[in-house]
Every structure is written in C-alpha cells, then in structure tokens.
C-alpha cells in the first residue's frame, strides 16, 4: 500500500492536494509547513488506527488516496464541534469499476447506499470493520496502523530512558529495540556505522538492577560509552540505524515519516546517512516521507523525490516533477546543484515565463 495523495486542514492551516511518491523529500523555507505536514499525517494516521481519539475541541479535515494492489481508495473526513461533519469513501478498482462505500454529512449517513445511524462521534470507517466483507476498509486502517513517525532533531533521551521524539507507536526505545536484534542485524548496524565514520567494536543492551542501558564500545577506546553519554549526532545516527534493522525484523512500518532528517549532522555523515535511509527504504518497500532544510542532504536526494512546499497565508501548495515537469526538466540542464533549485530565484523566473 502506498499513499499517493494527501490533503490536511485545521482552523488555521490547509494544504492543496499533495502528490506523493514511494520516496519523498519535503523541502522549502522555514515556516512553510514541512513539519506541520509531517505531524499532520502522523496525527491523521493515529486517528484512523484509533491509537488516539478524536478530541472534543479538535477541528481537523483530511483527504488521502491509497493505492493497493487491486484498487485505489479515496477517503476523507472532517471533524468539528465534537462530531463527524463529513465522511466519504470511494474505491476505484483495477477493472475501472467504481464504488462509493461511505457518504456522510453531519445529518445523514449512508454505507453502501443504505441509510445507517452511526454515533456522531465515531468514524464509519472504524465502525464497519470486517476483514472478509470489507477488505477495502481494512486496507486503509492497515495502512494507518503501519505508519511510524519521528522528529530527527529531537532524538534524545533523558535519565529514565524515555524517548520523546516519537509521534506515535511510543514504547520502543533504543534498549527495547536492540534487545530484539540478532547478531547479523547488529553486525549490519556496526558495518553501516563504520561507513559513516562511527567505528564501534560492540553495541550491547545491558541491565543493572532496574536500570536498562545500551553500551557502545568504540574501537581503540578503553572507556565504553552509554547511550546517555553519546553526542547528539552520534546518538541520532545510531538510533536510526538500529530502528531500521528493528522494523525490518518486525515487518513494520509500511510508511515512515521523518521530520528534519539529518538535521545537525556534518557534511559527510549527513550525505551518507541521507542516501542510506532513502536506499534502505526503497529496497525494503517502505514509503518514506521525510522533510529537511539540510543543503547537504538535498544535494544527494534525486529531484524526482522532491516536493517543494510553498505557503501563501494559511494555504500550502507543492511543486514536484509530476505537477510541474517543465520546471524540473529545465533545471536539469543548468548544471547547478539540487540545493540551488531552492536557494536561487530559478522557480520565480521560470514561473514568470509562463
């Protein structure tokens, strides 16, 4: 399953329909909406999977298009005033047949064309679950259940090992993830870390009474390091490498959201980690939606993966190679670096020619 379009809105912010690929890098100026979009997608997935309830004071609307092997599902809902205001689900099958599953307003609701009376504070998508009869609904919820999200520049731990950077799926800290890895997986982490100039002889989960820590032994260094004593850049890099091995073992997620990927890393490690994460997700069929302002990372990520976000007041729009192919084709002949597409006036000059 792959998210191919999304749109989000709340009281003060809304997006156009944002097109997405298998691998995505959201770029743009500060305060344009990159982090808001990442966090909005995370929040929306947690609502559809019922990991979080819809709040009484919440005002949210979302639209998603999910592509499965046999169909494409379009789903939207709007919530305000402690009740569902709008809900709609249609499915287009591979043979061209289209079916409307859910049609709902604040006053009326239909499921497969029949009038139903769901509670005003519940989504029909969640109420009508059936793994045999309604596989299309299960596909949407399964997608939502398999979304995971991080903020890279907030990767940190405090004294009691709680990691606050997770948006959803909380509970998997460095210690608990490492405990699930076999020797081959840990060796993969050590090898990849060495490629990024973090040379380690050993990574080990250790326990002293009620204290659970991760121990790192550097090559040619006598004193070992605990997770709390690592530099932030080293901790964030190793955490992400261990996490990727962990999700490969567990089979999750299908969609990975990372805000501020590679933020704060030096040039060498930023480019190497960025390339590794994009390649890893591509090879392991994980849809990656990452955001970054890191010029080093932008220069090594293919422009075909870019979505350039722009904001006009409260409205956010996106430019990518599908909705503006001439822009990207013209830029490819300039010989400039990827980052120059964002930092120069190329986009403005190109739009004036239209």
- 0.75 surpassed by pTM: yes
* Same-domain status, 123 and 151: yes
Domain count across the chain: 2
Residue 139 in domain: yes
pLDDT at 222: 86
* Same-domain status, 217 and 298: no
149: CATH: 3.40.50
Q: What share of the chain in percent tops pLDDT 90?
A: 75
Nearest to 21 by CA among 268, 290, 258, 343: 290
What is the sign of the dihedral through the CA atoms of 179, 181, 186 and 187? positive
* Same-domain status, 28 and 13: yes
* Same-domain status, 238 and 264: no
- For residue 180, give every residue at least 6 positions away whose Cβ sits within 8 Å of its Cβ, in sequence order, or none: 246, 249, 250
* Same-domain status, 227 and 295: no
If you average pLDDT over residues 228-243, what whole number do you get? 90
* Same-domain status, 174 and 160: no
* Same-domain status, 37 and 121: yes
- For residue 42, give every residue at least 6 positions away whose Cβ sits within 8 Å of its Cβ, in sequence order, or none: 147, 149, 167, 168, 257
> Other C-beta atoms within 10 Å of 109: how many?
19
* Beta bridge mates, 308: 27, 319
* Same-domain status, 299 and 184: no
CB–CB of 55/83 below 8 Å? no
CA dist 173 → 180, 205, 241, 245 (Å): 11, 11, 13, 13
Of 227, 252, 277, the residue at which a domain comes to its end is 252
Nearest to 75 by CA among 172, 16, 3, 11: 3
Residue 340 in domain: no
Residue 233 in domain: yes
- Please compute, for residue 336, the number of CA atoms within 13 A of its CA located in the half-sphere on the CB side: 16
Lowest mean pLDDT among 50-59, 143-152, 153-162, 262-271: 153-162
Considering only CA atoms, give the Rg of the chain: 22
- State both tokens at 298: 């932008």
> 304: cis peptide before it, omega within 30°?
no
237: containing domain = 170-252
* Same-domain status, 151 and 222: no
pLDDT at 160: 33
Residue 350 in domain: no
- Alpha-carbon span 162 to 171, nearest angstrom: 8
Helix (H) or strand (E) holding 278: helix 267-283
Q: Mean pLDDT score of the chain, rounded to an integer?
A: 91
* Same-domain status, 274 and 301: yes
* Same-domain status, 15 and 160: yes
């Amino acid at each position: 399953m792959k998210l191919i379009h999304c749109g989000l809105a709340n009281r003060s912010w809304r997006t156009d329909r944002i097109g997405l690929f298998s691998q995505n890098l959201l770029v743009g100026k500060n305060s344009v909406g990159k982090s808001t979009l990442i966090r909005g997608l995370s929040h929306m997935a947690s609502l559809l999977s019922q990991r979080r309830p819809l709040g009484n004071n919440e005002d949210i609307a979302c639209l998603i298009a999910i592509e499965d092997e046999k169909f494409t599902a379009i789903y939207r809902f709007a919530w305000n005033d402690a009740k569902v205001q709008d809900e709609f689900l249609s499915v287009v099958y591979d043979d061209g047949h289209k079916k409307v599953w859910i049609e709902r307003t604040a006053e009326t609701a239909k499921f497969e064309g029949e009038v139903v009376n769901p509670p005003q504070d519940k989504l029909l998508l969640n109420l009508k679950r059936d793994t045999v009869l309604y596989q299309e609904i299960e596909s949407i919820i399964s997608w939502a259940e398999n979304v995971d999200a991080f903020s890279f520049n907030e990767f940190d731990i405090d004294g009691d090992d709680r990691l606050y950077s997770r948006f959803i799926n909380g509970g998997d800290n460095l210690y608990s993830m490492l405990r699930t890895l076999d020797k081959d997986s840990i060796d993969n982490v050590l090898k990849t870390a060495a490629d990024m100039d973090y040379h380690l002889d050993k990574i080990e989960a250790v326990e002293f009474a009620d204290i659970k820590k991760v121990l790192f032994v550097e090559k040619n260094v006598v004193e070992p390091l605990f997770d709390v004593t690592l530099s932030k850049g080293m901790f964030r890099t190793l955490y992400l490498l261990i996490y990727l091995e962990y999700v490969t073992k567990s089979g999750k997620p299908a969609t990975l959201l990372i805000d501020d990927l590679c933020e704060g890393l030096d040039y060498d490690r930023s480019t190497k980690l960025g390339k590794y994460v994009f390649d890893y997700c591509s090879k392991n069929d994980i849809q990656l939606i990452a955001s970054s302002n890191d010029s080093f990372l932008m220069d090594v990520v293919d422009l075909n993966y870019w979505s350039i976000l722009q904001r006009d007041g409260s409205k956010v729009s996106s430019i990518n190679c599908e909705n503006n192919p001439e822009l990207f084709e013209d830029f490819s002949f300039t010989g400039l670096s990827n980052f120059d597409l964002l930092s120069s006036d190329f986009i403005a000059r190109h739009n004036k020619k239209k």
